[in-house]
Amino acid sequence: MLGLFKRVFGRREDTSLVDRYTKELTEITGSIHALEAKSSDNEARVKHLQRQLTFYGVAFCVLRVSYVMVNSGVHTLYDRTVLLNVVVCMLGVVCAKLGLGRVDEYVRHRRIVRIDELRSQHAARLEAFKKDTDFNLTSSIIKRFSSGANESDDIVLLLDDEIRGKYEELDDLKTELIALEKNDKLKDAKERDKWFDKIINSLAGDSDLGHRYAAIQCGKCQQFTGCYRLAGGPLHYKCANCDEVIEEPATTTGSG
C-alpha cells in the first residue's frame, strides 16, 4: 500500500517538476526571442531616423539660409552672416545624428547584456533540470541498451584488435628493415622500393584488418545503412529502414 502511494505521488512530483521547468524555460526563451526581435526592429527604426534627420536637416539649412539672405538683402553665400548660419545648421544636424547614434549604441548594449544574462539563466536552468531528472544517466542507459547489450564491447574489441594488428604489422616491418640493413640489401633500389611500398600500404590502411570488419545488411529489405560489426562476434541489430531485428550469436567463422 505504501509503495502504491509512493508511485502515485512520485509521478505527480515528477510531472510538476517537468511542468515547472518547462514553464521557466519557455518564459526565458520567449524573452530572448522578444529582445532579439526588438533589436532588429530598433535597428531598422534608427536607420530610418538617421535618413530623416539628414533630409530634414539639410532642408532646414536651405530654408534658414534663404530666410537670412532675403531679410538681410544679401545675394551671395560668402557673406559672413550667411556662412555662420550654414555652419550652425550643419553642426546642429551632425550633433543630432551623433546623439541618436550614441543613444542607439547604449540601448543596444544594454539589450545585448540582457540577452546574455537570459541565455546564462537558460543554460543554468537546463543543467539544473538535467541534474534533477538524472538526464545524463538516463540518456547513457538508453543509448547503452537501445543498440544491443554488446555494442560497447564490440567497439572496444574492434579498436583493440585494430591497434594490436597495426602494431604487429609495423613491428614486422621494423624487423625486416633491420635485416635488410644487416644484409646490405638497402643499397639495392628494388629492395628499398619494395620495403617503402610496404610502409606506405600499412600507413594507408592496406592490411588484413579489413577482414575483421563485416558490413551489416538487413536480410529482409537488403538495405545497408553504413553499419559494421566485428566479424565473428555477437550481433543485436535493428534495421533503420524496415525495423527488422537481427539476433546472431558469436561464431567462430567471420561471416557477414
Q: How many CB atoms lie within 10 A of CB 22?
A: 11
Q: Are residues 179 and 107 in the same domain?
A: no
pLDDT value of residue 203: 63
Q: Answer yes or no: is 256 within a domain.
A: no
pLDDT value of residue 84: 87
Statement: residue 134 has pLDDT above 60: yes
Report how far Cα 189 is from the mean position of its chain's Cα atoms.
51
pLDDT value of residue 254: 40
Q: Answer yes or no: is 175 within a domain.
A: yes
Q: Are residues 133 and 152 in the same domain?
A: no
Q: How confident is the model at residue 10 (pLDDT cuts 50, 70, 90)?
A: very low
Query: Which of residues 142, 177, 206 is at a domain's end?
Result: 142
- Transcribe 21-85 into DSSP letters: HHHHHHHHHHHHHHHHHHHHHHHHHHHHHHHHHHHHHHHHHHHHHHHHHHHHT---TTSHHHHHH
Q: Are residues 7 and 114 in the same domain?
A: yes
Range of the domain at 56: 2-142
Query: Which of residues 91, 121, 142 is at a domain's end?
Result: 142
Place of cell 543509448: 143
pLDDT value of residue 136: 63
Number of domains in the chain: 2
Q: Are residues 111 and 158 in the same domain?
A: no
Work out the percent of the chain whose per-residue pLDDT is above 70.
66
pLDDT value of residue 139: 65
Reference 104, options 44, 52, 154; nearest CA is 44
For residue 51, what is its C-alpha cell? 535618413
Q: Are residues 69 and 135 in the same domain?
A: yes
From the DSSP assignment, how many helices (H) and strands (E) are in the chain?
5, 4
Q: Answer yes or no: is 157 within a domain.
A: yes
* Contact call for residues 244 and 225 (beta carbons, < 8 A): no
Q: Are residues 12 and 100 in the same domain?
A: yes
Q: Are residues 228 and 121 in the same domain?
A: no
Q: Answer yes or no: is 104 within a domain.
A: yes
Mean pLDDT in the chain?
74
Collapsing DSSP to helix, strand or coil, 195 comes out as: helix
Q: Are residues 136 and 201 in the same domain?
A: no
Statement: residue 3 has pLDDT above 80: no
pLDDT value of residue 240: 77
The 8 Å CB, 24+ separation contacts for 111-119 are 111/35, 111/38, 111/39, 112/39, 114/35, 115/32, 115/35, 115/36, 118/28, 118/31, 118/32, 118/35, 119/32
Statement: residue 25 has pLDDT above 80: yes
* Contact call for residues 57 and 96 (beta carbons, < 8 A): yes
Q: Answer yes or no: is 205 within a domain.
A: yes
* Contact call for residues 231 and 212 (beta carbons, < 8 A): yes
